[in-house]
């Protein structure tokens, strides 16, 4: 029982110390115009750093992430094929792929994948 209490108190002391340390480190310094401006190899900035971002790039990036995560989820499913029953495995993988295909179809029909408008 004493080791549990000792472990909890050491964990509490370490976490409190880290929180105090992070609070002290993250204090904001006085910001001036030079520190707030973007650094471009010592030259004055050519344009504003706050230019509008194209939503098409964002949508394509999200679509890439969805299909990238799909691959990361499907790889372990392939390994469990040897262990589980084939009907359960086939129905699970079919449902997973169908949901992804329906999402892709939905994005396609709403014109989210079109570059030119």
- Rounded distance, CA 117 to CA 107, Å? 15
The domain segmentation of the chain, as residue ranges, is 53-109
Residue of 26 and 39 predicted with greater confidence: 26
Please state, in angstroms and rounded to a whole number, the distance separating the CA atoms of residues 62 and 82: 32
Q: Using 50, 70 and 90 to split pLDDT, how confident is the model at 40?
A: low
Residue 77 contacts residue 93 (beta carbons within 8 Å): yes
d(CA 73, CA 59): 21
Q: What is the pLDDT of residues 73-101, one digit of tens each?
A: 878 877 777 777 778 878 888 888 898 88
Provide φ and ψ at 10, rounded to 5°. Answer: -65, -45
DSSP state of 30: P
């Amino acid at each position: 029982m004493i080791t549990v209490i000792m472990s909890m108190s050491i964990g509490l002391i370490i976490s409190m110390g880290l929180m105090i340390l992070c609070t002290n480190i993250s204090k904001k310094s006085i910001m001036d115009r030079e520190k707030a401006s973007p650094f471009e190899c010592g030259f004055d900035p050519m344009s504003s750093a706050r230019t509008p971002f194209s939503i098409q790039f964002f949508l394509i990036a999200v679509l890439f992430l969805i299909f990238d995560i799909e691959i990361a989820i499907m790889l372990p499913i392939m390994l469990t094929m040897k262990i589980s029953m084939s009907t359960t495995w086939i129905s699970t993988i079919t449902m997973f792929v169908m949901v992804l295909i329906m999402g892709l179809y939905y994005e396609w029909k709403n014109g989210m994948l079109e570059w030119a408008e």
